[in-house]
Amino acid sequence: SSTKLLIKGGTVVNAHHQEVADVYVEDGIIVAVKPDLKVSDDVKVIDATGKFVMPGGIDPHTHLAMEFMGTETIDDFFSGQAAALAGGTTMHIDFVIPVNDSLIAGLETYEEKAKKSCMDYGFHMAITKFDDIVSRDMEIIVKEKGINSFKFFLAYKGSLMVNDELLLEGLKRCKSLGALAMVHAENGDAVFEGQKRMIQLGIFGPEGHALSRPPVLEGEATARAIRLAGFVNTPLYVVHVMSIDAMEEIAKARKSGQRVVGEPVVSGLVLDDSGLWDSDFTTASKYVMSPPIRASGHDKALQGALSNGVLQLVGTDHCVFNSTQKAFGIDDFRKIPNGVNGIEERMHLVWDTMVESGQISITDYVRVTSTECARIFNIYPRKGAIIAGSDADIIILNPNSSFEINARSHHSRTDTNVYEGRRGKGKVEVTIARGRVVWENNELKVVPGSGKYIEMPPFNYLFSGIDKADASYLSSLNAPVKRSKSTT
Ligand code: URP
Ligand code: ZN
Ligand code: ZN
Ligand code: ZN
């Protein structure tokens, strides 16, 4: 479309800089960011005086229309994205699940699901098996399909879980392709054992979910994945960091210089596990996700880690089942579909919890909700920035306006909300997606099919020559070490 838009008088915030300026948008692209821009009469003007004009949120971790635990998440690529836009998120990266271990078949399924998209999206690819076909398909996925990250599940024994041998093969393949390895870090064998123990003890309710998979199992798997990624010398992205145990492993590795990214999710930052003990099953079961929401104290520690840089960006793991689906596990917590909402709430809750409380700056807010994700997945500055030439994905946030969260007014299709009743400061009043005003005056104007697939190119630096750690890795395998300029 040829819509022209001027956002006047707001404070434009990027990850490293903020200033009062106007933002002029044409054909979905930011054309100019300068104070006191003069434009013609046919331009729609939005007054942002006293408000913050920021890059739209990018959610690095969602599951829309995912088949999981015998059912399918209730938000699809339209309803989940509509909810996202109402909450100031203008792009998300969703996880493709292979079909019968086939990456290509999985991707085709997701391409079909995503046709109804009303905002931009990208994909990560889950790896559930490793053989010559998967190895070949990983190359096709990276070089031809615009995906630069692969997720390995160390939990969900019997379905998605991979063993250490597969993880190691996968890490090596990621490295050779210049792709980023991501890991769901829980020890799936120990979780399985813990679940059996709960059942033996007669604990069948939602609290058994948390009791069966304590923080130590997240810490162990995080440490193991970090060590193996270090052994292969390839970067690692740890998704949904939920515990102090996992966070401390990431802190230690980063301090030693290892390239490890830690992603907390909103539920881990702002909730504790008390809800899991609610005597009402519908209430308790809505909090069931993996890794579990932890005891009070982990939340505050994760906030601290986000503010001091040990953790770098915030996702949601938006993976929503309604109370009927959650009730599949009414007699046995192992059958409660795992997942919580958050795609609509993330921008509000991170503002209120982190900025309003003084734990991070406004520029850091932009970094952890948008820019860092764009950088990590190699789409910066097309996404994650308000500068001339970037896509016009923009939000206007009013720091003096309040939000209130409840299942009655949210835009997700689910009938519960894990943040029910929360209020706070900092409301996203306007969302602009590719130059189109899609959220204004509490009204959504979304168009199915208007969202575009964002290709994410691989990271060339990963395979530029053989470094010292490569040499020690190769020699530890008794392989002949190829010499290169950097290994003298
Ligand atoms: O409980 C969760 N997190 N469900 C989504 C799948 C995953 O592990 O990310
Ligand atoms: Zn400037
Ligand atoms: Zn996961
Ligand atoms: Zn997830």
- Summarised one tens digit per residue, pLDDT across range 409-464 is 999 999 999 999 999 999 999 999 999 999 999 999 999 999 999 999 998 655 44
Nearest CA to ligand 1 atom 4: 339
- pLDDT, tens digit, for every residue of 35-87? 999 999 999 999 999 999 999 999 999 999 999 999 999 999 999 999 999 99
Full-model pTM: 0.95
Q: Is 339 a pocket residue for ligand 1 (Cβ < 6 Å)? A: yes
**62 SS3 class:** strand
End-to-end C-alpha distance for the chain, whole angstroms: 56
Our mutation pick for probing the ligand 1 site, out of 150, 338, 340, 414, counting the most ligand atoms within 8 A of Cβ, is: 338
Residue found under tokens 């820019």? 371
281 neighbors 275 (Cβ within 8 angstroms): no
Distance from Cα 387 to the centre of ligand 3, integer Å? 33
What ipTM was predicted for this assembly?
A: 0.94
pLDDT digits (tens, 9 = 90+) for 346-379: 999 999 999 999 999 999 999 999 999 999 999 9
**Residues near 318 by beta carbon (within 8 Å), at least 6 away in sequence:** 59, 61, 62, 63, 64, 75, 80, 92, 339, 340, 341, 342, 343
Residue of 217, 317, 343 to test ligand 1 pocket, by largest number of atoms within 8 Å of CB: 317
Ligand 3 centre distance from Cα of residue 31 (Å): 38
How many H-runs (helices) and E-runs (strands) does the chain carry?
A: 16, 18
Ligand 1, atom 9, residue with closest C-alpha: 317
DSSP-derived letter for residue 448 is T
Question: Does 480 score more than 50 pLDDT?
Answer: no
Q: Measured from the CA of 339, which atom of ligand 1 is nearest?
A: 1
CA of residue 319 to ligand 4 center, whole Å: 7
- State which of 64, 94, 213, 319 you would mutate to test the pocket of ligand 1, scoring each by most atoms of that ligand within 8 A of its C-beta: 319
Q: Is 289 in the pocket of ligand 1 (CB under 6 A)?
A: yes
Residues in the chain: 488
